[in-house]
Chains A and B, each alone.
Chain A
Amino acid sequence: MMWFATGLGIVAGAAELVVIERVLPEYPEEDAEIECMVTLRVTPEGVPSAAAVEGCDEPHAAAAEEAALQWRFQPFELDGGEPEAVFQTPMFDLAPLRTVPPEVVPPSPLQLPEPEIYTLRPGVEVWHVRVPSVRKVAVHVVMREGLVELVGMPNQAARATGWMVDVAAGEYSAPELSLIEDLHEIELWSRIGLHDGSVSLVVPREDLELGLQLQRTVLREPTFPKKDLKRYLRDQQLFYTVNAPSSQARVAGYALAHAWFPADHPYGARPNLAELKGIKPRTLSDLYELWLSSVPLTLVVVGDLPFEEIRAPLEAMVEDLGVDRPPASALEVPLPPPRVLAVDMPGQSQVAIRLRTPAPPRGHEDSVAMRAIQWVLGGHFLSRLNRVLREERGYTYGSGASYRSGPTWGSLTFSVDVGSENLAETVTVIQEQIDAILEAGVEAEELESARRSFVQDWNTTRQTASQAARLYLAALEEGVSIETKRDRREAMGSLAAEDVIRVAQEWMGPDAPRVWVFVGDRAKMEPELAELGLEAEWIDPNRAVLGNF
């Protein structure tokens, strides 16, 4: 049975009545379908003076009357010469349901298929994943080694090489390539990372053949035009010297990253502006040839199509490519020393606060518990940090925590922007919230909430080919099965508070190094830092961005 609004509301005596307090009757639960119609007389002060009940018997009529008399309305002006307003409302078959939130059926992670793996030749594998009902096809040619293997210490030339592969190729000038891509809704792009890179294609199914032809040309015959290289290098220069240093958020991000990875470690390579000036197209084409000819390849294909349909063009694309050896391993990274960095940006009213602590590497047995800690402290609107800093104190528009990890390292980063006058209190709250985790872990309800959220995230991965491909690329990079990734989401549900405390103590405890970064107006920040007893190293925004500290 359902109630509709017909008959609900004003009958006489006022243009409008606004309910400000609404008490529901306590019917016996099994009688939830009972409907009583209550007519209330309401004084101009908004208080009911009498109630009449129709349409139901005792004890429901008495319960409905008792509840209705406790309703309160906004004071109002009488009209039509009536002594009181008359208001009618159903009482209320739905009431028992509204008094408690409805039950939720917990989500289960969908069974996503493992990729079908084909070996085109030694050194070239294909991961093929068929996802029904997606419009596009994603084809990623993944180079299984990246900057570190290519040049040892990542430099600007190697970075430019990886990012410029997709600009122009073979007979296609950059504008021609761009035009064809746009006319057929083809997305082609390249990237290079520390230990991998890719030339990637996303294309509507009906233009797959054309897309693959272009991808083949881009992969095998990139031309690195001089004019585009010049533009790329100018953009890099501009970003590091002009755009990044003017944003508190970017300055904070760079300062934190540079403080975490040493300058002499490949993961901590600093931007080298002097080097930007001497890079020639020839340097890039030589580096690219070396890169492409020396790495194992894995092709990840995701779309609503059988493998046989794409096998021949893939074979043509990677003909003679691919080196038959396992990809190189990641490098060990030392933990950084504890540090307090403060960046002076005069005139700013806000301060960007960041804190980074160590966290388990990717796939480590502690990573599930760390993911839970991240979620509980700063992973959603009502995380513990937001609850205090936003909802209770109104200090911030939003705070967050992020857990990043690689094969050999991990970090947990807290981020919040507040008015400078709230710096000290905010830092104190962050410390208190970390201490609470170290002492008491997290609640079972929080863990279940985290589990469900991660399952929901997992369950949306089949909406588009691009979304699904991201999951399989992550599994490839990590070297784990889809089932393993799925199980990790579920594992959150079987953690206990003690597990979380142990992991928190291990990675974020008193002995773990912490790196604080504060970006704002020095004059406003100094008294706040002094109140906290924090002695900061002061640097300017340009040094922060370039890692020159």
Chain B
Amino acid sequence: MLSWIPALALAADGPLAMDPRVETLDNGLTVILLEDHRTDTIALHLAYGVGARDEADVERGSAHLFEHLMFEGSANVPTNAFDEWLTAAGGDNNAYTSEDVTAYHMEFPSGALELALFLESDRMGFLEAGLVQDNLENQQKVVLQERAEGYAEPNGRDWDALGRISWPADHPYHHPVIGTVADIEAFSLPAVRGFWEAHYRSRNAVLALVGNFETEEALERVEHWFSDVPDRGEPVERDNSPLPGGVRDHHGMLFDDVEERTLYVVWETVPLGHADEPALDLLSQLLSGGRGTRLDDQLYYEHQRTSDVGMFTLNNDRAGQILLYASSPKTPLAKVYKLALKQIQGLIKDPPTAEEVARARRAHRGWLLDALEQPDRKAEILVDCFRWTQEADCLVPRWARYEAVTPADVLRVAQTYLIEQQPNTLSVVPRGDDGAMDGAQLVELP
């Protein structure tokens, strides 16, 4: 089959260069513009540098709460009008909150650009009008319900439990992004307003527009709408003090309304931008990137010891993880663990090949190129690039780092971060089942 294998060096990086226009308004807002005239739509992505990691103990859940409150009206946009007006224009929007960032995104017909900028600038500059008790109380209910619906699904609590077992209590990633029931019920209007004032500042935001517009004209309209957003100064400095190390060799468990057992194995790795990030990404893809990769074949395709298996990296601003999961209705999770670890340790005897690395790399490149065909994903990439590197057009150098990874690099990171470290595990098993890892301790989720 060797004749089918392509030369490993892929074509020049032309398709990954985006060449956007980047400007900073006087109020500190970073604006990134990139034309894409293939369709008559525009994607807007706006990220604030605030996530669950920025919350004080009494503010837990606040970053995510804003993902709701930002739609409840601002000085010139009545309650519910944000969605109503944007939808009436043919647009759509949503938001997400992570440990590190809160992002708001829209896609709309190009004839609605003015409206979109008006809505987004009004809530950036003048949200106080919507931060009222009625809106807060209603969104508290909605967030509690969001949490309850998520927890009611099979394996719906796993993610929060993983945070608790992986990071010590004083680590910024220990707490669930959505907050606990007590956190959510404790929100008060003064605290919520204080959180907005501290973090929702123009200097803490990056805005990208990608789509059917002329750059000069669009920039003028962005300035028009965002220039009266008050400059409330530099954002509150984020806590970048040394972190407590991650937990090691802890084995937790949950009983859940599930019929299958699921095992998670988590190793602490590196934060975003670390030199080893590309090799770790390729390692996870190489081990579990579908049929013909080591873990997937041994646990699922060839030997069917599990019903599901996967592995991925989670690189946050301040810390990272590599995470393996596998499910089985009958196999004890200690056995699943042993089988999975055997594949990882087997990398020493049977090191990654050039072909395996090429395969993993191609998957990563395909993912990037696919994303660049879609304005909404491209806008998100531009914003994330800027957040991480202060350069919106970061894919070419980023890809060069992936190109430079050798099989020896992949083996080295496997040894450093996986083989030589004791991972944590989470066993999730049906109620009353005895298939969890030996000695696993029940995880309490408040």
Contact = CB atoms under 8 A, between A and B. Distances in A.
Nearest to B291: A178
A380 B83 contact: yes
A196 B366 CA distance: 30
Contacts of B122: 98
B230 A184 contact: no
B224 A94 contact: yes
Interface stretch (A231-239, A284-292, A331-339, A510-518): A231-239
A22 B4 contact: no
Interface in A78-130: 90, 92, 94, 97-99, 101-108, 110
Which of A20, A230, A461 counts the most B-chain CB atoms under 10 A from its CB? A20
B148 to A, nearest CB: 6
Contacts of A20: 128-129
A184 B362 contact: yes
Contacts of A280: none
A234 B88 CA distance: 48
Given A16-B232, A243-B260, A104 B223 contact: no
B249 interface: no
Contacts of A459: 39-41, 109
Contact of B227 (A3, A18, A22, A397): A3
B27 interface: yes
Contacts of B355: 179, 183
B41 to A, nearest CB: 6
Given A179-B1, A397-B146, A417 B152 contact: yes
A56 interface: no
Interface residues of B, number: 98
A185 B362 contact: yes
Contacts of B289: 182
B373 A452 contact: no
Contacts of B110: 105, 107
Contact of B15 (A74, A135, A396): A135
A174 B301 contact: yes
Interface in A235-273: 235, 238, 241-243, 245-249
B153 interface: yes
B359 A345 contact: no
A293 interface: no
A287 B317 CA distance: 53
B329 A5 contact: no
Interface residues of A, number: 95
Contacts of A183: 4-6, 355, 358-359, 362
B111 A107 contact: yes
Contacts of A245: 259
A187 to B, nearest CB: 9
B272 interface: no
B307 A238 contact: yes
A245 B329 CA distance: 13
Interface in B52-82: 71, 75-77, 80-81
B141 interface: yes
Contacts of B128: 18-21
Contact of A107 (B1, B40, B126): B40
Nearest to A106: B111
Contacts, number: 256
A97 B91 CA distance: 20
Nearest to B156: A247
Contacts of B146: 397
A178 B259 CA distance: 31
Which of B291, B304, B374 counts the most A-chain CB atoms under 10 A from its CB? B291
A533 interface: no
Contacts of B233: 16
Which of A16, A176, A183, A345 counts the most B-chain CB atoms under 10 A from its CB? A183
B238 to A, nearest CB: 19
Interface string B100-143: 00000001111110110011001000101100000001111110
B210 to A, nearest CB: 11
A34 to B, nearest CB: 14
Given A180-B1, A394-B142, A460 B107 contact: yes
A175 interface: yes
B217 interface: no
A18 B27 contact: no
Given A101-B85, A179-B292, A464-B370, A234 B304 contact: yes
A445 B88 contact: yes
A91 to B, nearest CB: 10
Interface stretch (A142-150, A315-323, A347-355, A363-371): A347-355
A132 interface: yes
A20 B130 CA distance: 10
Nearest to A23: B75
A429 B107 CA distance: 31
Nearest to A214: B4
Contacts of A99: 76
Interface in A159-204: 172, 174-176, 178-180, 182-185, 204
Nearest to B141: A394
A103 B87 contact: no
Contacts of B13: none
B92 interface: yes
Interface in B337-371: 355, 358-359, 362-363, 365-366, 369-370
12 contacts: A8-B231, A16-B197, A98-B122, A101-B119, A106-B111, A135-B370, A235-B307, A238-B260, A380-B92, A394-B145, A449-B87, A456-B92
- Top 3 A-B pairs ranked by shortest CB distance? A394-B141, A105-B111, A452-B90
Given A178-B290, A418-B145, A463-B373, 8 more contacts: A3-B228, A135-B370, A210-B4, A242-B329, A349-B152, A381-B71, A452-B89, A456-B41
Interface of B: 1, 4-6, 11, 15, 25-27, 38-41, 71, 75-77, 80-81, 83-85, 87-93, 107-112, 114-115, 118-119, 122, 126, 128-129, 137-142, 144-146, 148-149, 152-154, 193, 197, 202, 220, 223-225, 227-233, 257-260, 289-292, 297, 300-302, 304, 307, 329, 355, 358-359, 362-363, 365-366, 369-370, 373-375
